[in-house]
Structure 1
Amino acid sequence: MKKSLLMSLMMVLVIVPFLSACSGDEDASGDGEVAQEITVNASSEPPSLDPALATDTTSGWVIEHVFEGLYTKNKDGEVVPGLAEKMELSDDKKVYTITLRDAKWSNGDPVTAEDFEYSWKRILNPETGSSFAFYLYYLKGAEEYNKGKGSVDDVGVTAVDDKTLKVELNSPTGFFEKLLAFWSYYPVNKSVVEGNKNWVAEADTLVSNGAYKLSSWEHDNQLVAEKNDNYWDKENISMEKITWKMVNDATTYYQMYKSGELDLITSLPVDVIPQEEGNEDFKITPYFGTYMYMFNVDKEPFTNPKVRRAFNLAIDRASITENISQSGEKPAKAFVPYGVETPEGDFREQKEAYFEENVEEAKKLLEEAKQEEGWDELPAVELIYNTSENHKKIAEGVQEMLKQNLGVEVTLNNQEWKTYLDTTDQGNFQMARMGWIGIYVDPTPILDYYLGDSPNNRTNWVNEKYDSLMAKSKGIQDEAERMKVLHEAEDVLMEDLPFMPVYYYTNNYLTSTDYEGVVYPVNRYPNLRWAKKVSN
């Protein structure tokens, strides 16, 4: 009997440590709750986490978790008040009086109306060099100040007191609240920014006001954000910690997902998509943007519009989407993607294609261009793209089509993302890959890309008629009339073709089934604020 009791005690001592070892993913309190942490892949180092300077979706993904503006988006993608507690609109719909809710920065400072005034005037300051300053041109006096033709004192944003912000617009703007949810309108902490010119470079100096604050940043490796205890709505944030890895190689990050090192990836290697389709962790969603190649119209051979059209006609976009990208994208023969609802239906469905692939016509146009320019042979063409396995495969497909269909030899060159942005911004390219995502679902933020004075328009293409139509559209209150003018603007763009649209984006994801509540916006990377880990 004693021997039996001894054996029982030994079994208990063996089993209890084993059970404890299996509970490593539970929180330290021992109450059995699952630690609310998620690890995702950003692919690369975000070029800038300064809301005034960020221009890319990678930076935006982090910024939208650590900062917040007057308006934000809820789980359903609807624009709702963020830091704005109350908003009053004047009878002429040009003046907004906004009352701020009680909110704090991650360092404990109060968020004030002065922070907003300072931030908006900072992004408009020509010395800041913001590529997205034009998104604030809806403010009275903003464009003039940004272009060095007006005074900062005339810009239509004023802190009346600590909690009251007065905003004056050039004209009524029905989508202004959507703009306020975009990161260019986010505040920064005035005292922090003025106290340290490198405030945004490291986790311990970056002060933010959103749901999360940075806790560590190993450059080119990973970035970690943890729930901000000073965030006004922290009780409704379920995910406690987000880690963004920076793994560029698609095969590597796919294997990391499969081994459990990553919980979510935003793009799959194209060769694994067929085998993942149908799995419960696989998801394809529309993405309101266009994958394209820009032509530098100041560099031969793209100085000639017939060359630009010939390249467009020589590409089989359906073959690219079906055989290379394989993610359910739709071939693009226009610029504005599907998904914009208008009084007459979907904007894109009203005119889906401005051209059809036609190799014979492309050859004819190319020969005409060579004769016009006196070229015996077409000048050498280099296509550059940012480093990515999927971008490489698409570029190789385009390269082969141009060779087979036009006899044009195109060389390929890849660069890391930050370097690539600098190269294209400086105009040091002939043909370059680019993607453009609308900051809100409307033709305007898409078509604004090719405005003559848009810093994002790296093609050097300027068309006064196009710019005039875009400006006209922004003062029209009737939606049907506004969409008509936007169609006219797109007509001008697609006639001159300073670019080659390839397809309308989709996003393909793998998300661990251990998580629920991840939000997949139509024009952003996943929002993780309301995600919850439900099992280990």
Structure 2
Amino acid sequence: MKKWLFPISIMLATSTALAGCYGGGGEDTAQSGDSGGDSDIKQEIVVNAMTEPPAIDPAIATDTTSGWVLDHIFEGLYTRDEEGNPVLGAAEDVSVSEDGKTYTFTLREDAKWSDGSPVTANDFEFAWERVLNPDTGSPFAFYMYYIKGAEAYNKGEGSVEDVGITAVDDMTFEVELNAPLGYMDSLLTLWTFYPVQQKAVEADENWAAEADTYVSNGPFEMTEWQHESNVVIEKNDEYYGEEEVKMEKVTFELVNEATTYYQMFKTGELDLVMTLPTDVIASERENEEYMEVPYYGTYMYMFNVEEEPFNNAKVRRAFAMAVDRQSLTDNVTLAGETPAYAMVPEGAETPEGDFREVGGDYFEENIEEAKQLLEEGMAEEGWDTLPEVTLMYNTSENHKKIAEAVQEMLSNNLDVDVSLANQEWGTYLDTTKQGNFQMARMGWIGIFLDPVVNLDYYLGDSPNNRTGWVNEEYDSIMAESKVEQDQAKRYELLHQAEEILLEDMPFMPVYFYKNTYMVNQDYENIAYYVNRYPYLKWAEKTQ
């Protein structure tokens, strides 16, 4: 039985997690080992992650590919059940102070690292302080700013001794917050909050770069990492819930060419692939192996507001208004995505209803108005002709098709010539991080269903905000929303923030995601969360 799993709680990149992006694919199936059910059935599965994971390190990872592996090999204080709800993981108990600001976790006595040593409160303290240490350069450190003293320490304005995380003893971990947080349990399912083993990290600063130095505490452990080829994880016999884990081996292949990995699925070399070639979706839609699953994220093009011509807000809006999103989703992407005219996707419930439905759209396609805005923006800058524009995307057949369609629309509707350029995912992340782009593709996935996770992306001091856009009013409203205890007022603030974001428009939303999969029907109990890639803890091969 396959399930779509919809988390019921709230907040944060996916993200964030990048949170927003794609993973890669790889080679042939490798098999070994038996477990559970029919002893003659090898409990192994080969899935396609598409690209080399940039960083399989809880403190450093920001992308969904790295996060997919991390979610299988680590476990935090909270994890998620088969329905996607947050439940206690490495912690067996938690108590919350009367004012809602202090959490005291009691760790499981049978929580162990993959080398057999116990997971302790000190491991959590060490891991979280490592994330916050400015020298680590963790892009997701801001997700810990809810913790007392965390922001000051991370920004070099405070001491680690003032951070509200304390290993009281080996089994007791205390966390002090700045204010009560209604989605604390969901927040702690993010890989940024996973423990790391201090001994392993201090023994080798590159401990997370190779399988032979890797230590983790989740249902699986990494046993092989052939860079640019595949990542192999195997059942962790030291995991306290190892009886729940049926799969003996999971291989993440790293094949980025969509036609290739689709054919590998058809020939049985891959058991699960996602992001299908757009030209096969119509023919596969009735196939029992085909699935479409909502995905809580936004596909967009970032504008570098520090580079011409996107230093001008009218030019940015003109580009956004000249793209026919419905045509893109109907004729190019073909997976039933929803055209996007805002940042926050559908799916975040509020007291007034779905956040997106309440907020509505912030702009629409209007070619005549777009032409007028472009003309006004050029006049403001003193340009007789628009500076040359290059649209960048990370290497993928589907990204290429979308970019080519946008390129044609901008040419037809605005008489603007746009060049295209692409880079492999890891290089692309570095390039955009350094601000070496004018207009670039990005995706952002919320780690749970709350608008704050989407809107945090464009905070002025967010390391994930690569646009150069900083708006003090936006940042102030977002900060206010995070301490507001009245939920109706909190969502009202988030609507205000999104309105500011879409008025200034440092990015161009394109569509809200939907994932397409082909899945071998020999497997059951794969968990399909709406904000993470498929989870295989309970997966089992039946024939």
TM-score by length of 2: 0.93
1:475 to 468, 471, 483: 483
CA distance in 2 between counterparts of 1:322 and 1:25 reads: 43
Aligned to 2:387, the other structure's residue is in SS state coil
2:57 aligned residue: 50
Report if the CA contact (8 A) 2:35-2:248 is conserved.
Answer: no
1:393 aligned residue: 401
Aligned letter for 1:93? G
> Aligned ranges for residues 286-365 of structure 1 at < 5 Å?
286-365=294-373
Q: CA deviation at 1:25?
A: 9.6
Deviating 4+ runs (over 4 angstroms)? 24-32
Report if the CA contact (8 A) 2:33-2:43 is conserved.
Answer: no
Aligned to 1:127, the other structure's residue is in SS state coil
1:157 to 165, 173, 176: 165
CA distance in 2 between counterparts of 1:345 and 1:419 reads: 40
Judging changes above 3 Å, is the alpha-carbon distance between structure 1 residues 29 and 147 closer, same or farther for their aligned structure 2 residues?
closer
1:90 aligned residue: 97
1:269 aligned residue: 277
The alignment's C-alpha RMSD in Å is 1.4
In structure 2, the gaps of 5 or more residues are 1-30
1:222 aligned residue: 230
1:142 aligned residue: 150
1:40 to 39, 42, 47: 47
Give the number of the structure whose alpha-carbon radius of gyration is greater: 1
Judging changes above 3 Å, is the alpha-carbon distance between structure 1 residues 362 and 30 closer, same or farther for their aligned structure 2 residues?
closer
Judging changes above 3 Å, is the alpha-carbon distance between structure 1 residues 29 and 320 closer, same or farther for their aligned structure 2 residues?
closer
CA distance in 2 between counterparts of 1:452 and 1:56 reads: 20
CA distance in 2 between counterparts of 1:25 and 1:115 reads: 32
Q: Residue 285 in 1 paired to residue 324 in 2?
A: no
1:109-135 Cα offsets, whole Å, 9 max, x none, are: 110000100110100000001100000
> Aligned ranges for residues 56-455 of structure 1 at < 5 Å?
56-102=63-109, 103-455=111-463
Q: CA deviation at 1:356?
A: 1.1
Deviates more, 1:497-506 or 1:481-490: 481-490
Q: CA deviation at 1:352?
A: 2.4
Aligned to 2:336, the other structure's residue is in SS state coil
Aligned letter for 1:77? G
Q: CA deviation at 1:45?
A: 0.8
CA distance in 1 between counterparts of 2:168 and 2:379 reads: 64
Report if the CA contact (8 A) 1:325-1:390 is conserved.
Answer: yes
What count of residue pairs does the alignment treat as equivalent? Answer: 512
Judging changes above 3 Å, is the alpha-carbon distance between structure 1 residues 162 and 396 closer, same or farther for their aligned structure 2 residues?
same
Q: Percent identity?
A: 63
1:7 aligned residue: none
Aligned to 1:200, the other structure's residue is in SS state helix
CA distance in 2 between counterparts of 1:27 and 1:117 reads: 37
1:217-241 Cα offsets, whole Å, 9 max, x none, are: 1111111100000001111112221
Judging changes above 3 Å, is the alpha-carbon distance between structure 1 residues 26 and 158 closer, same or farther for their aligned structure 2 residues?
closer
Q: CA deviation at 1:33?
A: 2.8
CA distance in 2 between counterparts of 1:79 and 1:478 reads: 22
Tell which has more relative contact order, 1 or 2 (C-alpha 8 A, sep 6+): 2
1:290-343 Cα offsets, whole Å, 9 max, x none, are: 000000000000000000000011000000000000001000001100001111
CA distance in 1 between counterparts of 2:38 and 2:378 reads: 75
In structure 1, the gaps of 5 or more residues are 1-23
CA distance in 2 between counterparts of 1:97 and 1:239 reads: 33
Aligned letter for 1:112? T
1:519 aligned residue: 527
Aligned to 1:366, the other structure's residue is in SS state helix
Judging changes above 3 Å, is the alpha-carbon distance between structure 1 residues 30 and 406 closer, same or farther for their aligned structure 2 residues?
closer
TM-score by length of 1: 0.94
CA distance in 2 between counterparts of 1:495 and 1:238 reads: 50
Judging changes above 3 Å, is the alpha-carbon distance between structure 1 residues 92 and 261 closer, same or farther for their aligned structure 2 residues?
same
CA distance in 2 between counterparts of 1:141 and 1:27 reads: 48
Q: CA deviation at 1:26?
A: 9.5
CA distance in 1 between counterparts of 2:101 and 2:487 reads: 18
1:497 to 505, 514, 528: 505
Aligned letter for 1:54? A
